[in-house]
Copies of this chain bind each other. A is one copy, B any other.
Amino acid sequence: MQSILRIDMTELAATFESVPEKYLQRAGRWLTSSIVFDEVPPTCHSLGPNNKVVIAAGIVSGTAAPSSARVSVGAKSPLTGTIKESNAGTAFAHMLARLRIKAIIVEGKPAEKDKYWTIKIDKDGVKFVPADEYVGMKLGSAYESLFRQHGDVSHTSILGIGTAGEYRLGSAGVCFNDMKGRATRYSGRGGMGAVLGSKGLKFIILDDTDAPGVEIANKELFDQGRKKLAEALTSHAITKPKGALNAYGTAVLVNIINEAGGLPTRNFRSGRFEGAAKVAGEAIFEINKERTGKEVYNHACSPGCIIQCSNTLYRRDGSEHVSCVEYESDWAFGPNCGIDDLDTIADLINRCNEYGLDTIEIGGTIAVAMEGGLANFGDGKRALELVDEIGTGTPLGRVLGSGAVTTGRVLGVERVPAVKGQNMPAYEPRAIKGIGMTYAVSTMGADHTSGYTIATEVLGVAGEADPLEKKKVEMTRGFQYATAFIDSSGHCLFIAFAILDIPSGFDGMVDECNGILGTHWTGDDVVRIGKEIIGIEKAFNRGAGFTAANDRLPEFMSREPLPPHNAVWDISNDDLDSILG
């Protein structure tokens, strides 16, 4: 039997509760959003005692299902004020599922200020251990020390917050370890790390030694499903071995999106970056070949991933510089800050990993700070100094760490490319309309993963569409529903490339879920459940005071034509309001 583990940080108490009937099928985002909706008053202060952080693995996490080690972290966001779910790929998901913990709910707030705790969870229960010695420490050293004390990555996994979370910054992510135990995998967006920081929770350490493992209702159906999904993943051009993602990582998108004229450059002043090729996935591959003397393909971020898109950038001496240079991080510090040097970008990403920061929000914020005159576009040295200010909590650092909107407000900058308080990721809505529609109406603020229309608009997955074409209400709606389901299944969103093109892959995903839960879902249920999840999230946001007026892109995008297409943002409010109803 699974249970829900409730952690009361006011009393430092842990309770295992039986899973309410209505939550039995729910996992991942479906479950985190449900519990946040059911238990968190939507008008509460996100850093106060009434907010809660919910941590849940997906339906198929903890099993042999391919690419299924996603863990969702949900709460009311201090960055956006909306409900939030942010997920990461990490062994933590598998271990949580194998311990049969359906969700961890972290609630309350300790009376003692600046006191931090580690929570250790294994098959025998929960222990609270003071974490004071780790306060102010960089996460790389902290994770090394914790793994030394608590066991290696084969049976131990860590969730943690860095100094950014201690400072309760809106850009503070929740960090998980990767396959080598490094502090590099993030539920980055929305400031979930700040909420944990406000509760004095520094680390959760799982040990799945002798864990009972995931119960599977229909083993045969499940095995059939995971094989169908694996076949799809290993045959699709984007997800197959030595395919686009495995060879070039997500940064394969740099050249593609630049070519489409939709690569936001210098705080969204252009859709093309003259230095794009120098920071693209192909460049990483070539540089690594030059520096290590061999072709380096990418590795898995978490056990059981067969897409294996996580890259490493090597230094000139052949040592590792950073893992991983994701497309979003690469873009955020590269084109968006006018920086075309991969080693500088690697340094910036490393800093974010050490301090516990969301690279997208921080890259976007540095670009807004450049717009506001705190640095020149392209000045990597100054960008590094600014990120160090954030990580060490100087007054300026706290502004920047509060995200792009706060930085814009403090510096009096109007050109802040954000929705509902969250900076836009690496796709220009003026040049690629569908993704702009996702940004506008997503329940989480500007978020590409909420409804990744880029798949169709640029990559030709699930059909083709002109990026500049405006009729995409149904496209973004469909992607948003499907995504909400995938985010709940425990799979990496990247399975979408394969399952949207290969019907048997889609069936495989559904079979896996049915195999685990004993349900009889079809494709219709995927849409039904996706719609239900987003409905729950929208209801929370309405309670928090959000209306259609918040489902809008920033005004300057309707006014400033974006090179090279010289397009403005021109989707009607009626169209936006019809997407999610």
- A-side residues, CB < 8 A to B, are 41-45, 47-50, 78, 167-170, 194, 197-198, 374, 395-396, 398-399, 402, 406, 409-412, 414, 542-550, 552, 554-556, 559
In the complex, the answer to whether A556 meets B409 with C-beta atoms within 8 Å is no
Q: Cα distance A550–B550 when bound, in Å?
A: 13
What chain B residues lie within 8 Å of A411 (beta carbons)? Answer: 398
In the complex, the answer to whether B398 meets A402 with C-beta atoms within 8 Å is no
In the complex, the answer to whether A45 meets B395 with C-beta atoms within 8 Å is no
CB distance from A391 to the nearest CB of B (A): 15
In the complex, the answer to whether A410 meets B414 with C-beta atoms within 8 Å is no
Q: Cα distance A508–B170 when bound, in Å?
A: 54
Q: Cα distance A400–B225 when bound, in Å?
A: 56
In the complex, the answer to whether A42 meets B549 with C-beta atoms within 8 Å is yes
In the complex, the answer to whether A170 meets B414 with C-beta atoms within 8 Å is no
- Option from B47, B544, B555 in Cβ contact (under 8 Å) with A48: B555
Contact A409 B549, CB 8 Å, known A198-B414, A398-B399, A414-B198:
no
In the complex, the answer to whether A409 meets B412 with C-beta atoms within 8 Å is no
CB distance from A402 to the nearest CB of B (A): 5
Q: Cα distance A90–B275 when bound, in Å?
A: 57
Contact A48 B410, CB 8 Å, known A43-B549, A547-B545, A552-B43:
no
What chain B residues lie within 8 Å of A169 (beta carbons)? Answer: 412
Known: A45-B414, A48-B556, A398-B412. 16 other contacts (CB 8 A): A41-B555, A42-B549, A45-B556, A78-B409, A197-B412, A374-B395, A395-B395, A395-B410, A399-B399, A402-B409, A402-B410, A410-B410, A542-B549, A545-B545, A545-B546, A546-B547
Nearest to A81 among chain B residues (CB) is: B549
In the complex, the answer to whether A47 meets B412 with C-beta atoms within 8 Å is yes
A-B contact pairs, 5 of them (CB 8 A): A43-B552, A197-B412, A406-B409, A406-B410, A545-B545
What chain B residues lie within 8 Å of A43 (beta carbons)? Answer: 549, 552, 555
Contact A412 B549, CB 8 Å, known A44-B555, A556-B48:
no
Which of A198, A406, A410, A548 has the most CB atoms of chain B within a 10 A radius of its CB? A410
What chain B residues lie within 8 Å of A554 (beta carbons)? Answer: 45
- Option from B410, B543, B552 in Cβ contact (under 8 Å) with A549: B543
Nearest to A50 among chain B residues (CB) is: B555
What chain B residues lie within 8 Å of A409 (beta carbons)? Answer: 78, 170, 402, 406
Nearest to A47 among chain B residues (CB) is: B414
CB distance from A318 to the nearest CB of B (A): 40
CB distance from A81 to the nearest CB of B (A): 10
Contact A198 B168, CB 8 Å, known A552-B43, A555-B45:
no
Which of A42, A374, A412 has the most CB atoms of chain B within a 10 A radius of its CB? A412
Nearest to A416 among chain B residues (CB) is: B45
In the complex, the answer to whether B545 meets A549 with C-beta atoms within 8 Å is yes
Q: Cα distance A11–B47 when bound, in Å?
A: 46
What chain B residues lie within 8 Å of A41 (beta carbons)? Answer: 555
CB distance from A198 to the nearest CB of B (A): 7
Q: Cα distance A549–B555 when bound, in Å?
A: 24
Pick the 3 closest A-B CB pairs, nearest first.
A168-B412, A545-B549, A395-B396
What chain B residues lie within 8 Å of A398 (beta carbons)? Answer: 399, 410-412
What chain B residues lie within 8 Å of A197 (beta carbons)? Answer: 412
What chain B residues lie within 8 Å of A547 (beta carbons)? Answer: 542, 545-547
Q: Cα distance A546–B545 when bound, in Å?
A: 6
What chain B residues lie within 8 Å of A556 (beta carbons)? Answer: 45, 48
Q: Cα distance A49–B549 when bound, in Å?
A: 19
CB distance from A371 to the nearest CB of B (A): 11
